[in-house]
Amino acid sequence: MQVLREIAGHGSLTTIQRYLHPDVHKVTTAGAALSARLSVLRVPRIVVVR
């Protein structure tokens, strides 16, 4: 869980534990939210100098 917490950028384990439950729909939604967050973090920033 510590690795998941770090990847997701959460400050405490209780935050990430909120996403660890047996409800398939909620787990899928949480996974999609995490994927979206990681995608934003991976997008290279382009600096335009004029």
- What does pTM read for this prediction? 0.42
What does the pLDDT read at residue 31? 86
pLDDT in tens, 32-49: 988 888 887 666 667 677
In three-state form (DSSP H/G/I as H, E/B as E, the rest C), the secondary structure along 15-40 is: HHHCCCCCCHHHHHHHHHHHHHHHHH
Average pLDDT, the chain: 76
Consecutive H or E run containing 42: helix 24-42
When comparing pLDDT for 15 and 35, which is higher? 35
Domain boundaries, the chain: 2-42
Per-residue pLDDT band for 9 (boundaries 50, 70, 90) equals confident
What does the pLDDT read at residue 40? 75
What does the pLDDT read at residue 44? 64
